[in-house]
Structure 1
């Protein structure tokens, strides 16, 4: 959302023409200003306050901005772009100005409980386990406790959205390798503890295929979608993750792989330790250090490692949406997976402002879309299981 759009919202607010969503937004900003003491109740200080806001706005355009205050569950990320900082200060200044020009009895912030007619709840712990014999178990419906026996392995579902294999039983299993697959639907996520004790977090619309016992000189798994790994170190049995033509050999512990088919590239990001990324067609390899990311295109072109902000990469695993300077379609793909909705663009070729947002993935879809409308130039509506991008 650009500055003229913000100013238009504030003009409508002052004239009493705001929509309920816009009214709630301005109420939240003003409430935060009052709570932090930036907006005094003394109306005699109004003129000085307005001048102060004006100076702060001009200063924000030429200097490094400060982080914006919290707005309930939505926290805008500190921006280095001056226009984003200017937009925040315009909203803060405008909100204070219009509220202070209202009669005092109207200044109280009213919390609304009105819900949109159309809304979508967030995803949750949902997955299907496919056993070696092809039997499927819907983990949403399965009771907690032991749910299957695979060779000498006990498969246990815990009450916190976690599937665990009995590693002690597997250490003496010398039978031929059998494989299980854990898959999450759109709107689902799940955590898995592999037979060696390594931990895996699956994002929505993802899967991992793995042996029910690790034997030989290598631990190998295959994934689709996105997964985060915390691997138990074993120098005699390296851990390898495969996806199509990409192989990630784990020389350390904590890393994330984003390998959705509808993304332009497969991305591997290292948080701790060391990993080696290579291609099956022999187009080279790369070794990552913590805080670095490498990309593999669908044409098997492997990029050089680059430093990245791991907070944004790992937001999904930490229960957050975190976008910094993100393009609209990248954000919409994530929302489509997590809320199990389809995206319809009224104007697919339209350019939109970069999006900035940091909020919980436990929020309803309407709350996320409200925040995105404030942080960018797009507007949205929900029609059943569709997000209409206006």
Structure 2
């Protein structure tokens, strides 16, 4: 497929507009993806000579910004992610089409960004009640261990599942722990059927078997919960500064220690957020509780549910997000550091697949924010 004709450029704009408003056909979406893949491959290939048309680049930039900054699209959740991925594709294609990197014309500082740091993946350590550690990325599918009336196994898709067996001591409530490193994520199905997705640099501690009175887990970092309904046993998520109490619901808790706020977002059902001093808030779907780690103030607001759980679905979604917060998210997923002393007070909006390399992500941020990024000794520095 050619990538430099005016006809293709016009068709690209037309189809990206249709993807954005939800009217694109399957054939148009397929053409769009083939175009972007071909454009990126051609631009990155050695010796590619693609014209740098400032007027076309500016027009495409305006089109991209107008669409990715739109807060509500009216699309279904699934289609919104498809549209977001497509719009990110045009952003990436624009970077490579109109700013091709060559050894001849790029300064040394840009070469630092070209360090190919890959995206994170499914990595975690499972620590059993007896202290035994299991590297889950190294474990094959099938049984991992049996303990306390439970079979713990890994599925073919890499998920850890706790399943009750007919034998064993189901009253054993010894604590297990699953921890993801920086650059890792993992999901686990607990003994009661509740499912938890852990983001990077997060730890979940939980009983092998929940007690008769309640289901209590402890979280450091960020996790998305789909709690199995049980009216007789409340499910509680304990963090350093608050407790989230539910019976059966879907919600996300972002409790990283280096964040200024602890954010609890409800997607389905109802939850009660209780702070250490005893302040309480009830949430409805679409609401987020924000606990200030310094002042202890607890407030709630309406948020985009899809944006909050984008990480679970394979995306970064930035919606008027401070650059410092953007870089903190990147640092956890790509296992790098950030020099926050150089970060300006600017905001970003846009969507980026988490499968992209750090090089590709920073190139997108440079293009959309008119800032330069360097990577020095695995530390992101903003110029």
- Fold shared per TM-score above 0.5: yes
Partner SS for 2:364: helix
Residue 120 of structure 1 is matched in structure 2 by: 117
Pick from 345, 355, 358 the counterpart of residue 351 of structure 1. Answer: 345
Contact kept, 8 Å, 2:148 with 2:172, in 1: the verdict is no
1:139 and 1:113 map into 2 onto residues whose CA distance is 38
What whole-Å deviation, never above 9, does each CA across 1:62-100 have from its counterpart, x for those lacking one? Answer: xxxxx9359xxxx833269xxxxxxxxxxx9xxx9xxxx
Aligned position for 2:275: 279
Q: TM-score, normalised by structure 2?
A: 0.72
Distance in 2 (alpha carbons) for counterparts of 1:225 and 1:29: 48
How far, CA to CA, are the matches of 1:28 and 1:223 in structure 2? 53
**Which among 126, 129, 137 is matched to residue 129 of structure 1?**
126
What's 2:317 paired with?
322
5+ residue gaps, structure 2: 16-55, 73-89, 103-110
| 2: CA distance, partners of 1:144 / 1:206 | 23
Question: Is residue 227–residue 247 contact of structure 2 (8 Å, CA) maintained in 1?
Answer: no
Gaps in structure 1 of 5+ consecutive residues = 1-25, 39-52, 58-66, 81-91, 97-108
Q: How many aligned positions are there?
A: 308
Q: 1:163 aligns with which of 144, 160, 163?
A: 160
RMSD: 3.4
The 1:68–1:136 alpha-carbon spacing in structure 2 relative to 1, beyond 3 Å, is same
Larger radius of gyration: 1
- Report the CA distance between 1:287 and its aligned residue: 0.4
Q: Match for 1:296 among 286, 291, 294?
A: 291
Work out the CA distance in 1 between the residues paired with 2:162 and 2:301.
Answer: 36
Q: State the alpha-carbon separation in 1 of the partners of residues 144 and 221 from structure 2.
A: 25
Equivalent residue number for residue 229 of structure 2: 233
For residue 345 of structure 1, report the CA deviation from its aligned partner: 4.9
2:171, 2:211 within 8 Å by CA — same for their partners in 1? no
Shift, 1:34, TM fit: 3.9
Q: Does residue 77 in structure 1 map to residue 69 in structure 2?
A: yes
CA distance in 1, matches of 2:14, 2:299: 48
Distance 1:29 1:386 in 2: 40
Report the TM-score when normalising by structure 1: 0.71
The Cα of 1:310 is off from its aligned counterpart by: 1.6
CA distance in 1, matches of 2:6, 2:203: 41
Native 8 Å contact 1:356 1:376 kept in 2:
no
Partner of 1:12: none
- The question of 1:261 aligning with 2:253 is answered no
Q: Could you tell me which residue of structure 1 aligns to residue 305 of structure 2?
A: 310
Confirm or deny that 1:365 pairs with 2:358. yes
Equivalent runs, 1:45-194 vs 2, <5 Å: 68=63, 76-78=68-70, 117-169=114-166, 173-194=169-190
Bigger shift: residues 143-152 or 293-302: 293-302
Residues 260 and 294 in structure 2, CA contact (< 8 A), matched pair in contact too:
no
- How far residue 136 of structure 1 moved from its aligned partner, in angstroms, is 0.5
Checking the alignment, whether the CA contact within 8 Å between 1:357 and 1:372 is kept in structure 2 is no
Cα separation, partners in 2 of 1:258 and 1:28, compared to 1, 3 Å: farther
Contact 2:179 2:201 in 1 (8 A): yes
Local SS of the residue matching 1:304: strand
